[in-house]
Structure 1
Amino acid sequence: MSRKITLTAVAVTAALMSINVNAAGFQVNEHSASGLGRAFSGEAAVADNASVLARNPAAMTLFKTAELSGGLTIVDPNIEVRDNDFGQTAKDVAPLALVPAGYYIHPVNDRFAVGLALFTSYGVATEYPADFNAGSAAGETSLITLNFNPNIAYRINENFSIGGGVSLVYGDAELTRFLGSLATVAGGEPSDQSMKMEGDTTGWGWNIGALYEINDNHRFGLSYRSQVDLDFEGDFTDYTGLITGTANNTVPGDLSVVLPAIAEFSGYHALNNQWAVHYSIQWIQYSKFEELRGTGDQCNPGYNGQAGVCLLKEEDYDDNARYSIGATYTLNPEWTLRAGFAFDEQAGKSTLSIPDTDRYWYSAGATYAYSKSMSFDVALTYLDGKETTFVEDGTSFTSSGGAIISAAQINYKF
């Protein structure tokens, strides 16, 4: 079994038990620059460029010619976690992140359209100081997913369209952990590495959508993206010997990770030739994220004496929602301006591994039409995370901070 192409149970568990500043839990919303500029309000209905594929495949029937969109989002977080009992502070634990995306829509005729989307819906990245007291649960972690998503859409009549697609989701993770406070038991220094692992896997999912057009100025979109089960097979390394009975022991380990399902309802309304308003309600089925259980026949006596269990992290998550509203203003044939606000409610109980909290998005953006065929989008968002204090294993922690999110995108009509 190759460690490079498989992921250990520990690695996946630690990757998902990290801070994600962008959205509740470990969701990634950054699918386009145009969407970022309106705080992703109306995304299943606006369809101003090919990036609508990330939210609603049925909206492909709105396109009269083939269109290509590609963009890059830069997430610059400023997150710190304070250990209130030991007096330590980990600053900038979420590193700068680049989130690319690409989309292509091709109308076949007046009724059929096909398209391809490349984007991500889930991911995390954290880097704690090597000598952080909770280094055995923190350290350095990254989990990246890529959704390869072909779609098809069909216009039933002049008002109603449907669409759907399949997704091949690729996941890649890297993990480095340090002894931290365990150094007093295991020996060595808190900054000594306790593990380093990497690997990848794939999983399948599907998505459907519907679009209802009252007329050219008013429409509604509804979409659903299924959960994706990532089944990892890899190596579990036990450095202390408490789980496998032998220190520095590497044994096979398995773990199934759920990427929750997402549903969205959106509306778009052009009030006149210049102004339009749009809104969305997004639902994420985080209640499916109940636990992270790593298993292996050689994990004996096992985690907390449970034979066959390499590790276990209970999660306390509920389904959550994201609410957004925005407006678009057409200044002239070359320039279009937009702005939006979103509230992303907390999905899970705050812990050291995921100090989840409510988040507020304040966004603005613009489109410049360089020609009839080519346009450019830019956007900027300030994301404000609510400060939260929680107790874990008898120790009090406080997490706080936010992020600056910027994005640029190019759109081309063939």
Structure 2
Amino acid sequence: MTGRMFRPSVVGAAIALAASQAHSAGFQLVEHSATGAGRVFAGEAVIADNASVLARNPAAMARFDRISASGALTYIAPDVYVRGNYATDPGGPVNNASLTNNDVVPGAPVPAGYFIQPLNDKWAWGFAMFSNFGLASEFPADYPAGALAGETHLITVNFNPNVSYRINEQWSVGAGFNAVYGDAELKRNFGVAAPDPYSPSNVSASLKGDGWGFGWNIGLMWELNEDHRFGLAYRSKIDVDFEGDYYSDLPEGLIAGPNGPAGTSGQNIPGELTLNLPDMLEFSGYHRLNEKFAVHYSYMWIGWSTFQEIRGTTEEYGTVLQKDEKFSNSYRVGVGGTWYMNPKWELRAGVSFDRTPSRTLPSISIPDNNRWNYGAGATYHWSDHQSFDAGFFFIHGKKGAFVEEEIPFTSKGNAYVISMQYNHSF
């Protein structure tokens, strides 16, 4: 590879591309329920209108007086592009071959499920299955920036048992254990930068594996009265240790740079990667102003500074994939309202703002920008024990510019999110 073509050292670059534009800041997922989607998750840690509150605050289980279960399915339809150009020779003119991909992120479903059981007037327990982090990006095999071509996928599932205790009429506490399973794949092709004798679809590096990480969460709820309450919840940071297979079509023993990729002649060898997921602190408030209307709000702090790099290793070669990310701590703030139209129907809406964590080192790997989110939704109460939720929100990302490998890029991402949910109490 010559001139200003992309170097193999950026082979791991797109780990967080998808969700950085399609979901919340970085590659965080907040799409935990259809109820929350309709208010863009403003007030989510304290409203407790169904069992999905478990994704945010275990202390809110104290508000339930009977067994409750909720199941949600959200579909995210992103519209993300990355654009740029490269030169074929050092100092040469810009080539007409464009580093443009107008369909970077595929659509994806996000399921979730929740169960809460009061044990007595003091204690309750519950179990949640949902995802706080995930991504997917797909580039064509002949993408000019070969080291960025290929596919990136990350799926995480949080298995989260919780318990709550009501101290008195105003104060409740809760805690939980988080077992996070992750499945990830990084595959990079040479693209048009393929050296002889390789074709654009040959793999410069691939790392695929799965693993577990463990953490904890706690929550607090303060109820001034039935119409005014506050919630505070915290989730610890989690390191997910992935183990799997690494391979490259490069000749066995060849290391293309200080940070890889390393050649294996297409043979699988054991590989490892640790993904550092951030801790989160959320404060929420809910105020029912009268019989018909309520306002609610949230502020979430996300400790993204824990995510500084992507580093894949093998026992034989050491580091085979490495990319600095240098995330900074970020936040999400939102406000919403609910209209209790009649005993059958509730309508809701909200707006929120996400601050990007990739402010220090923006790159094509994470073309992440600040964004606004606008949502609306409804609940239909079929009976005293059954209800259905629908929610929709639009993510509007700010256009951003950055330089990667001396090449200027621009990126922008919007997304359409629709969610459905069924709730049942016993």
- Tell me the TM-score normalised to structure 1 length: 0.91
**Distance in 2, Cα, partners of 1:363 & 1:178:** 38
Report whether the alignment pairs 1:131 with 2:160: no
1:370 corresponding residue in structure 2: 382
1:379 corresponding residue in structure 2: 391
1:42-68 per-residue CA deviation (whole Å, 9 max, x = no partner) reads 001110000000000000000111111
**Distance in 2, Cα, partners of 1:412 & 1:245:** 54
2:101 corresponding residue in structure 1: 90
Describe the shift of the 1:138–1:209 C-alpha distance in structure 2 as closer, same or farther (beyond 3 A). Answer: farther
Structure 1 unaligned blocks of 5 or more: 1-9, 300-307
Confirm or deny: 8 A CA contact 1:19 1:355 kept in the other structure. Answer: no
Counterpart of 1:394 (choices 406, 413, 425) is: 406
1:303 corresponding residue in structure 2: none
Letter in 1 for 2:154: L
2:69 corresponding residue in structure 1: 68
Letter in 1 for 2:142: D
**Distance in 2, Cα, partners of 1:407 & 1:82:** 30
Report whether the alignment pairs 1:259 with 2:259: no
Structure 2 SS opposite 1:16: coil
Task: State the shift of 1:13 in Å.
Answer: 5.1
Structure 2 SS opposite 1:351: coil
2:4 corresponding residue in structure 1: none
Confirm or deny: 8 A CA contact 1:14 1:141 kept in the other structure. Answer: no
Confirm or deny: 8 A CA contact 1:176 1:196 kept in the other structure. Answer: yes
Q: Report the number of matched residues.
A: 395
1:4 corresponding residue in structure 2: none
Structure 2 SS opposite 1:91: coil
**Distance in 1, Cα, partners of 2:188 & 2:313:** 20
**Distance in 2, Cα, partners of 1:100 & 1:14:** 27
Confirm or deny: 8 A CA contact 2:242 2:273 kept in the other structure. Answer: yes
Letter in 1 for 2:128: A
1:273-312 per-residue CA deviation (whole Å, 9 max, x = no partner) reads 110000000011000111122233421xxxxxxxx32232
Task: State the shift of 1:246 in Å.
Answer: 6.2
1:190-218 per-residue CA deviation (whole Å, 9 max, x = no partner) reads 23344555322111111100000001000
Report whether the alignment pairs 1:359 with 2:371: yes
2:190 corresponding residue in structure 1: 179
1:313-350 per-residue CA deviation (whole Å, 9 max, x = no partner) reads 11121100000000000111111000000000111132
2:330 corresponding residue in structure 1: 320
Structure 2 SS opposite 1:51: helix
RMSD: 1.9
Counterpart of 1:155 (choices 163, 166, 170) is: 166
**Distance in 1, Cα, partners of 2:196 & 2:234:** 48
Letter in 1 for 2:299: I
1:285 corresponding residue in structure 2: 303
Describe the shift of the 1:372–1:207 C-alpha distance in structure 2 as closer, same or farther (beyond 3 A). Answer: same
Higher mean alpha-carbon deviation, 244-253 vs 265-274, is at 244-253
Describe the shift of the 1:173–1:147 C-alpha distance in structure 2 as closer, same or farther (beyond 3 A). Answer: same
Describe the shift of the 1:350–1:186 C-alpha distance in structure 2 as closer, same or farther (beyond 3 A). Answer: farther
Report whether the alignment pairs 1:16 with 2:15: yes
1:6 corresponding residue in structure 2: none
Counterpart of 1:227 (choices 227, 237, 241) is: 237
2:47 corresponding residue in structure 1: 46
- 4+ aligned runs moved over 4 Å, structure 1: 12-15, 243-250
1:144 corresponding residue in structure 2: 155
**Distance in 2, Cα, partners of 1:399 & 1:158:** 50
Higher mean alpha-carbon deviation, 111-120 vs 191-200, is at 191-200
1:1-28 per-residue CA deviation (whole Å, 9 max, x = no partner) reads xxxxxxxxx9x95663423111111100
